[in-house]
Homo-oligomer: A and B are copies of this chain.
Amino acid sequence: MKKKTGDPKQRLLETATTLFYNQGYHATGINQVIEEAGVARASLYLHYESKESLLLAFLHQRHIDWMDGLKSYTGEVSKTKEKIAAAFDFLFDNNEKEYFRGCAFLNILSETTDRDTAVLNVIQDHKKDLRAFLAEILTNEKQAVKDHVYLLFESAIVESQLYRNQWPVQEAKKMALGLL
């Protein structure tokens, strides 16, 4: 029993976020979640009907928070190139803050089969939103450039997680800016 601030539902979501993100979904047991959230077992099932619904709640909240973070970075500047640069800087800072744990959605994707359609949909929707957001910044660019920047952005996330190093973010940033 650790946390004690906020209401139980909020603490469960926060704890699940930390655990699912840092050790994975299947590697995290419900017992650990309730223990670290300081919440009774029955309270979990009062607010979430199953472990999977807790996962969905986590992904949903993560999408909001992550996109908000990204928007706060790109919103600080006005030019297209600056916004793209800011987007990569967001990845850079995230890596520092979250110890190169990579993309929460892609990580869960790896644990997901085609049968988990609800989970798969949330993940795909998140990436579609991200892709649309980048495309809007690049509104005056050709579709090929929009796609290209998106693909570099994605590999920056994955590869920095893989190598536990910022070089993919910095390289991908240079390449993306070079396309504009």
Contact = CB atoms under 8 A, between A and B. Distances in A.
Interface of A: 22-24, 26-27, 99, 102, 106-111, 113-114, 123-124, 127, 144, 147-148, 151-152, 154-156, 158-159, 161-164, 168, 171-172, 174-175
A155 B151 contact: yes
Those 7 A-B pairs whose CB atoms lie nearest each other, nearest first: A26-B26, A110-B110, A107-B110, A155-B155, A151-B155, A154-B155, A24-B111
Contacts of A151: 151-152, 155-156, 159, 168, 171-172, 175
Given A151-B171, A154-B159, A111 B113 contact: no
A22 B113 contact: yes
The secondary-structure label for the interface of chain A is helix
A162 B127 contact: yes
Contacts of A158: 106, 154-155, 158
Copies of this chain present in the complex amount to: 2
Contacts of A152: 151-152, 155
B148 A175 contact: yes
Contacts of A148: 171, 175
A109 B24 contact: no
A111 B147 contact: no
11 contacts: A24-B26, A26-B26, A99-B114, A106-B110, A106-B158, A109-B162, A111-B111, A147-B175, A151-B159, A152-B152, A155-B158
Nearest to A147: B171
A113 B155 CA distance: 20
A101 to B, nearest CB: 9
